[in-house]
Chains A and B, each alone.
Chain A
């Protein structure tokens, strides 16, 4: 305790160049810390893989031969995620408007959608759309079925995000627009929604990153994305370990890349213009 009391005493202002040097020094040590973390990560991963190769449990030739093929699935994974997030966003806006509606029919439809989707496993929904719907004559190609399943699923969760976003727009905004004689729809479309979307963009980024991982589930209906490619070459050549390791690494790298962009986006939004 005692040595902290010094901090409360008023201190003389630092010379500008001293303050600048201090800031630069702090930045340097922070950068150094990050560098060291990355170095330790690399060492740990290298040691793990190296030892597996050394004891001959892992086949580097398989990896170098098949890694490009597995990696080729990453494109499809991203396509699935983009398509699904697009569908999910549209559904989430509609769902949120429905959940905020005073019309009982609209509210009922929206809340049933959210409840049903959130109350059942995603994998059941994927199987339902691909394997069960054909019984009703609705036959969808695997990719479309996967995107629809993921989109519907995430749309239900994102409904709540959008609902919160709409409610986070200050009441005065709506009142000012109403006082300008704008009809309800216009108030929502021109004043509330644009502000709500700004509020929820970072959260949508989070959902997108979660979706990158959940998209692996559509491999069970034969969409030839990352995991499907990895497990098919792995299983057929009895090299599941290497194959799944590659797939896992690609998912990991993808989420790191998108997290990076998402963080930058979030920072830009925080600066914002409000």
Chain B
């Protein structure tokens, strides 16, 4: 399906102890594609995304990002060489967290330039120029010298997005980026993400915001019990799901009104 995949996950399994959390995931994400992962909590969405940049070490299978393929190494037996490969994967795949995880001891600008300078080896003025560019993009130029504690949740997540963009990754992964936000702040974050999607940023997004998925997704992937059950264009998955599990999920989801309030 994808002719030019940026991300290729093949035969991925993950065990936490005896718990089989991912049961053979195969997923390809094409350049410029926005893929939304939906499913109940506990279905393995977060684990999948965390396995793609090796915040969790997969038990079996392989992850390929922009041509760099890394096999699962559950016993961490390959040591330094493996760690360096993982770092290369992380350079290619940026990640956003539910809890933002800005560095509280640094200003917004310092948060943005830290890794570009120390990891990518940019000169300070290059990194600052890059940071200013992305701060403008997320609309936070005036917060440049604030500490994160002075920002609202929405501003924090937008800062985190700018921080990830400063690494100029090939794909951005979002792990429920708006679930920790007050309802009235969700819109500003989703707005930035929608812009990114429309500009052709390759994205993998775990979300419960169905409205957003409909607007911004090229493809919706429904997961249940560690497997991909069904995937396709948003209107197909959200309006005419084939699998009974998808139907049940969406029915219950809409009935409880979870994830509403955004727009």
Residues of A whose CB lies within 8 Å of any CB of B are 170, 172-173, 175-184, 186, 190-191, 194-195, 198, 272-274
Contacts and interface: CB of A to CB of B under 8 A. Distances in A.
B90 A194 contact: no
Interface string B77-110: 0000001000110110011010101111100000
Given A173-B103, A195-B105, A273-B147, A186 B119 contact: yes
Contacts of B99: 170, 172
Interface in B121-171: 147, 149, 160, 163-164, 167
A180 B119 contact: yes
A272 B147 CA distance: 11
A168 to B, nearest CB: 13
11 contacts: A179-B55, A180-B94, A180-B167, A181-B88, A181-B90, A181-B91, A183-B119, A186-B119, A191-B103, A273-B104, A274-B104
Residue among A172, A175, A178, A179 with the highest chain B CB neighbour number at 10 A? A179
Contact of B94 (A170, A175, A179, A183): A179
Given A175-B101, A179-B90, 7 more contacts: A172-B101, A176-B101, A181-B90, A181-B91, A181-B119, A182-B118, A190-B114
Contact of A176 (B91, B97, B147): B97
B115 interface: yes
Nearest to B87: A181
A182 B119 contact: yes
A270 to B, nearest CB: 13
A273 B106 CA distance: 10
B101 A178 contact: no
Interface string B24-37: 00000000000000
Contacts of B167: 180-181
B178 interface: no
B115 A180 contact: yes
Given A190-B118, A273-B147, A179 B95 contact: yes
B53 interface: yes
Contacts of B149: 272-274
Determine the interface band of chain B, counting residues with CB < 8 A from chain A: 20 to 34
Contacts of A170: 99, 101
Name the 9 nearest CB pairs between A and B, nearest first: A176-B101, A180-B115, A179-B95, A181-B90, A172-B101, A181-B91, A274-B104, A273-B147, A273-B149
B10 to A, nearest CB: 22
B53 A179 contact: yes
A194 B104 CA distance: 10
Contacts of A194: 105
Contacts of B147: 273
Contacts of A198: 105
A91 B40 CA distance: 48
A180 B127 CA distance: 14
Contacts of B55: 175, 178-179
Select the residue from A176, A178, A182, A274 with max chain B CB neighbours within 10 A.
Answer: A176
B114 A173 contact: no
A177 B83 CA distance: 14
A178 B94 CA distance: 10
A194 B103 CA distance: 10
Contacts of B95: 176, 179
Nearest to A179: B95
Contact of A181 (B105, B115, B163): B115
B174 to A, nearest CB: 12
B204 to A, nearest CB: 13
A228 to B, nearest CB: 42
A201 to B, nearest CB: 13
Contacts of B164: 179-180
